[in-house]
Amino acid sequence: MDFEQNNNLSGPVESQSSEAVPGLDRHSRATDTTRKGIGWKIFWGVVLALSVLANAALFLILIGLLTVFAARPKRAFTEDVVREGPRSNKIVVINIEGLINVEQAESVYRQLKAARQDEHVKGMIVRVNSPGGTIAGSDHIYQEILKFREEQGVPTIAFMQNMAASGGYYTSVACEKIVAEPMTITGSIGVIMGHLVLKELLEDKLGIKAVILKEGDKKDWPSSFRVPEPNELQYLQERLLTPAYERFVQVVAEGRKESLTPDEVRPLADGSIFFAQDALDVGLIDQVGYLDEAIELVKSLAGIKKAQVVEYHEVFSLATFLSYRRPNSLVLGKAVLHELSTPQILYLWKAY
C-alpha cells in the first residue's frame, strides 16, 4: 500500500520535472534573441556615428579646398621650364595657337603681363601655330607685342611651328626676327570675307520668306536673304576688304623693312602660301630652324650665354570654373544664326 502510494507520488514529480525543461529553453532563447537585437543596434549605431564623422571630415576638407582655390587669382599662370638654365636669365615663350580671336588676344595679353612682372626676363619667343583669324584679334596681338618690345626693351623673335599663315603671319611681323621650322606653312597675306545666302533654302525648300524693314539703302548690305547686287559687292570691297588689305601690307612692310621694301611686299600679298625655305628666299622670314635655334638667336641678341627658357600655363581657379556657363539651346541657335548671316572679315588661310 505504501509502496503503491510512493509510486503514485513519484509519477507526478517526474512529470512536473519533465515539463519544466521546455519552459526554461524558451526563456533562454528569448534572452539570446534580445541580446542579439541589442548587439545589432549597437553595431548600426557605431556605423552611423562613423558615417557622420566621415561626412563631417569630408565637408571640412571640401571647404578647405574651396577656400584655397577661391584665394587664387582668377587668371593665374604657372611657369613650366622648357630648357634648364640660370633663373637670373630667363627667356619666356608666349604661345599663340589655333584660331586667332578675341579670347586668343586676351590670353596673349595675360601672358605678356606675367612676363612684364618678372625682372629676370631677358628675351621673348612668340611661338605661333595658327592659320590666322579675325582682323581685330590679329591686330590686337600685333599691338601688344610691339608695346611689350617698346616698354621692356628685350629681344623678341617669332618662332613659327607647323603653321603661321595670314593672321598668324600678321602677328609674327611684330617681332624683330622670325624663325620657322622647315615644314611650316606661312604667308597667305590678304583678307577674306564671306557669308551664306539662304534665300533658296528658305523659300524653295522650307516655304519661309524673310521680311526686312530698314531705313537707309545700305543698312542690310550684305543680306543672307537675297543675292547681292554688283554695286553691293563693290561697296563692301571698297569699305571693308581694301582697307583691311592695305593695313596688312603696311604691317608687313614695317615689320620686314630690313628684308623687303614696300614695293617688294605687294607682289607677295596675293594670298600665296610658302614653306619655310621659300619664305626665306623671298624675305618673309629670317631663318629656318627649330626651337633650339630660336633660343640661340634670342641669347645672341640679348648678349647672354646661358638662360632658362620657360612658358606659361594657366592654372585652374574656382572663379574661372564658376564663371563658365554652358549656353542653352536658344542661345546656341542665335549664335549659329548670327554666324551664318553675318559676314566675317578675316586674316585667315581658308584652306585650314
Domain ranges of the chain: 77-191+240-315
**pLDDT higher than threshold 60 for residue 151:** yes
Which residues have a catalytic role annotated?
166, 219
Query: Cell numbers at residue 323, please?
Result: 564663371
The H or E element containing residue 348 is strand 344-348
Q: Is pLDDT above 50 for 12? A: no
**What angle separates helix 102-116 from helix 135-152, to the nearest 10 degrees?**
10
- Per DSSP, 100 falls in state B
Q: Which of 110-114, 120-124, 209-213, 319-323 has the lowest mean pLDDT?
A: 319-323
pLDDT in tens, 169-197: 999 999 999 999 999 999 999 999 987 78
Contacts of 50 (CB under 8 A, 6+ apart): none
Distance from the Cα of residue 317 to its chain's centroid: 14
Per-residue pLDDT, 37:
63
- The full length of the chain comes to 352
β pairing state of 308-314 and 177-180: unpaired
| Statement: residue 48 has pLDDT above 60 | yes
Which residue shows C-alpha cell 537675297? 226
User: What pLDDT, on the 0 to 100 scale, is given for residue 352?
Assistant: 53
Read off the pLDDT of each residue in 148-163 and give the average, rounded to a whole number.
97
Instruction: Name the band, by pLDDT with cuts 50, 70 and 90, for residue 1.
Output: very low
109-123, 259-273, 319-333: least confident range: 319-333
What was the pLDDT predicted at 66?
A: 63
Residue with cell 650665354: 305
- What's the grid cell of residue 134? 579675325
Return the minimum-mean-pLDDT range out of 12-21, 105-114, 123-132. Answer: 12-21
Q: Give the pLDDT confidence score for residue 207 in this predicted structure.
A: 82
Q: Could you tell me the CATH superfamily of domain 77-191+240-315?
A: 2-enoyl-CoA Hydratase; Chain A, domain 1 (3.90.226.10)
Q: Spell 302-336 as b/e; 16+ CB within 10 A means b.
A: bebeebbbbbbeeeebbebeeeeeeeeeeeeeeee
Q: How far, in Å, CA of 150 to CA of 154, rounded?
A: 8
The residue that leads in pLDDT, 209 or 152, is 152
- The single residue listed with the C-alpha cell 591686330 is 139
- Average pLDDT for 37-47: 70
pLDDT in tens, 206-247: 888 878 788 888 888 888 778 889 999 999 999 999 999 999
Q: Is the pLDDT reported for residue 317 higher than 80?
A: no
Choose among 209, 217, 188: nearest CA to 350.
188
Q: What is the DSSP letter of 261?
A: -
The predicted pLDDT at position 309 comes to: 97
Query: Which of these, 190, 182, 135, 139, lies nearest to 160 by C-alpha position?
Result: 182
Model pTM? Answer: 0.74
* Cα 344 from chain centre: 22
Q: What is the pLDDT of residues 279-307, one digit of tens each?
A: 999 999 999 999 999 999 999 999 999 99
Helix or strand holding residue 296 (H, E): helix 291-302
Q: Is the pLDDT of residue 58 over 50?
A: yes
CA atoms within 13 A on the CB side of 145: 32
Q: How far apart are CA 82 and CA 131, in angstroms?
A: 24
